[in-house]
Amino acid sequence: MGFSDLTSDAGLKQLNDFLLDKSFIEGYEPSQADAVVFKAVGVAPDTAKYPNGARWYKQIATYDLATLPGTAKEVSAYGPEGAAAAEEDEIDLFGSDEEEDPEAERIKAERVAEYNKKKAAKPKAVHKSLVTLDVKPWDDETPMDELEKAVRSIQMDGLVWGLSKLVPVGFGVNKFQINLVVEDDKVSLEALQEELEGFEDYVQSTDIAAMSKL
Amino acid sequence: MFLGTLYSFKTNTRTVCLLELAKLLDLQVDLVETYPHKFSADLAAKFPLQKLPVFIGADGFELSEVIAIVKYFYEKGKHNDKEGLGPVNEVEEAEMLKWMCFINFDIVTPQNVRPWVGMFRGNIPYEEKPFKESATRAIDSLKIPNELVKDRTYLVGDRFTLADLFFGSLLRIFFNSIIDEKTRKELPHLTRYYITMFHQAKLETYFPLELPLTVTVAKK
């Protein structure tokens, strides 16, 4: 659709609404889009009725229109997106018949059972994750070295602590960031976080900053 | 030209505009990572308030107060000003100062920022009532600049200036935190202004444009 007759009340209202959240017609700098629409509007919109349009018009009037960047198009190419795209016939090319073949269902169930049996027999691989954990102190006076000792004092089967560092957060506060490796079947990260947050003298909260499979 | 050293951190609310200004004016300014009330003894002796940012020139000149530093940087680099950032006359100069003082002393103030910003960042424990009350107070204060920018694209004159660089960058503290989708609709003119200035000031060098759908405080 785009802009229609910009000398009419309806057109100016359309422009005004469009420019509520925009300084320029396209992007964040003036361009030929603004030049085209400016010429189509012709005279300064009434400030009381169309405040956004008036603000924009006043600004574009300060430029030499010919020097603005971009390529000029028809005025109707600019403005709110058209609704024309929604008028297609709705043909469901991927719909399926509701019919169910009981024999096919039986065969499918049989194959699934066979697959599960085969899978169960396979020795289970040890799945591990590499996790980066953020531990946040109460304030800038929390003793971070004691916080680190407290964190590393947690021992669990399947948990290995790695490198750590302090990351500035702002206002002189650092958070403690530590890498760890966990065996997924043995260690619950939620339980670990709860245990960390149990160190109430040091820990305000924890976050999992990153996580990936090893 | 090596002008001197800023003591602050890169994403500090009142420092981003100085780093970008130095770049725009081809001034070489070092940044030494420093946090408020954590100054070295030497630096604290020079700047007892221990607030950010502070500047020490290569010639030993010591300067605090962000607006003074903006002014000093501009005077030192204005021969390299290719974008018309500075005032064209004394009226524009006064208007720029007005807008910078307004955002710095009337909007981004301890009364408008505490305690919600500490809770948002996770520095202090979250409490619902003081968070909501202080965030509401901050948003109410933004209704004033929302109306003030309604009739203009830029704050002073008809081009992007120092005032827009400063004002726009200081708004980030609100827009990346407590201004959710619903609140942005209540502040449409200020939102339009912030988004435009974010791009024109090229602030994506320092932080992303974050316009959160909802307010999400640091997880407890």
Q: Is B2-80 assigned to CATH 1.10.3720.10? A: no
Q: Is the model more confident about A60 or about A134?
A: A60
A199: pLDDT confidence band, cut at 50, 70 and 90? confident
Strand B28-33 with B2-8, pairing: parallel
Q: Could you give the CA distance from residue B194 to residue B186 in angstroms, rounded to a whole number? A: 14
Surface-to-core class of residue B185, CB atoms within 10 Å of its CB (0-12 exposed, 13-18 middle, 19+ buried): exposed
Alpha helices in B149-200, H assignment, sequence order: 162-170, 172-175, 181-186, 188-200
Would you state the pLDDT for residue B122? 87
CA nearest B145: which of B170, B120, B162, B111? B170
Mean pLDDT of A89-100: 50
Looking at residue A178, the DSSP 8-state letter turns out to be: E
User: CB under 8 Å to B67, separation ≥6 — which residues?
Assistant: B97, B100, B101, B104, B166
Nearest by CB to residue B151, choosing from A51, A206, A207, is: A51
A111 within domain boundaries: no
Partner A contacted by B199 (CB < 8 A): yes
B135: pLDDT confidence band, cut at 50, 70 and 90? very high
Give the DSSP H or E segment for A151.
helix A144-152
Last residue of a domain, one of A48, A77, A106: A77
Q: Is the model more confident about A106 or about B160?
A: B160
Q: What is the pLDDT of residues B34-53, one digit of tens each?
A: 999 889 998 999 999 999 99
B38: closest chain A residue by CA = A172
A15 within domain boundaries: yes
Cross-chain Cβ contact B153/A138 below 8 Å: no
A83: pLDDT confidence band, cut at 50, 70 and 90? very low
- How near does any CA of chain A get to the CA of B44, in Å? 15
Residue A93: count of CB within 10 angstroms of its CB: 4
Q: Could you give the CA distance from residue B65 to residue B55 in angstroms, rounded to a whole number? A: 9
A51 within domain boundaries: yes
Identify the bridge partners of residue A164 per DSSP, sorted by sequence position: A178
Mean pLDDT of B197-217: 89
For residue B158, the chain A residues in CB contact (below 8 A) are 59, 62
Would you state the pLDDT for residue B53? 97
Q: Which amino acid is residue A65, in one-letter code? A: L
Best of A21, A142, A193 to disrupt the B interface (most B CBs within 10 Å) is: A21
User: CB under 8 Å to B107, separation ≥6 — which residues?
Assistant: B141, B142, B144, B145, B170
Mean pLDDT of A123-140: 76
Would you state the pLDDT for residue B128? 86
Identify the bridge partners of residue A169 per DSSP, sorted by sequence position: none
Cβ atoms of A202 and A143 closer than 8 Å? yes
Q: What is the pLDDT of residues A6-16, one digit of tens each?
A: 999 899 988 99
Partner A contacted by B150 (CB < 8 A): yes
User: CB under 8 Å to B190, separation ≥6 — which residues?
Assistant: B142, B145, B146, B149, B171
Would you state the pLDDT for residue A100? 54
CATH topology of domain B90-205: Glutathione S-transferase Yfyf (Class Pi); Chain A, domain 2 (1.20.1050)
B52: closest chain A residue by CA = A171
A21: closest chain B residue by CA = B192
Q: Could you give the CA distance from residue B208 to residue B42 in angstroms, rounded to a whole number? A: 34
For residue A51, the chain B residues in CB contact (below 8 A) are 150-151
Long-range pairs for A6-12: beta carbons < 8 A, 24 or more residues apart: A6/A37, A6/A40, A6/A41, A6/A42, A6/A75, A7/A40, A7/A41, A7/A42, A12/A41, A12/A45, A12/A49, A12/A50, A12/A53
A134: closest chain B residue by CA = B219
All structural domains of chain B with their residue ranges: 2-80, 90-205
Residue B220: count of CB within 10 angstroms of its CB: 13
Q: Is the model more confident about A35 or about A80?
A: A35
Last residue of a domain, one of A38, A60, A77: A77
Burial A30-48 (b: 16+ CB within 10 A, else e): bbbbbbbbbebbeeebeee
Q: Which amino acid is residue A64, in one-letter code? A: D
Partner B contacted by A47 (CB < 8 A): yes
Asked if pLDDT for residue B26 goes beyond 70, the answer is yes
Say whether the peptide bond before residue B53 is cis (omega within 30 degrees of 0). Answer: yes
Mean pLDDT of B201-210: 88
CA nearest A209: which of A171, A179, A170, A187? A179
Cross-chain Cβ contact A170/B220 below 8 Å: no
Work out the percent of chain B whose per-residue pLDDT is above 90.
Answer: 74
Cα dihedral sign, B206-B41-A141-A166? positive
Nearest by CB to residue A28, choosing from B35, B154, B200, is: B200
Last residue of a domain, one of A52, A77, A102: A77
User: CB under 8 Å to B106, separation ≥6 — which residues?
Assistant: B141
User: CB under 8 Å to A95, separation ≥6 — which residues?
Assistant: none
A192 within domain boundaries: yes
Structural domains in chain A (count): 2
A90 within domain boundaries: no
> CATH no. for residue A170?
3.30.70.60
B191: pLDDT confidence band, cut at 50, 70 and 90? very high
Would you state the pLDDT for residue A94? 53
Domain encompassing residue A143: 128-213
| Lowest pLDDT segment from A181-190, B20-29, B127-136 | A181-190
* Rg of chain B over all Cα atoms, to the nearest angstrom: 18
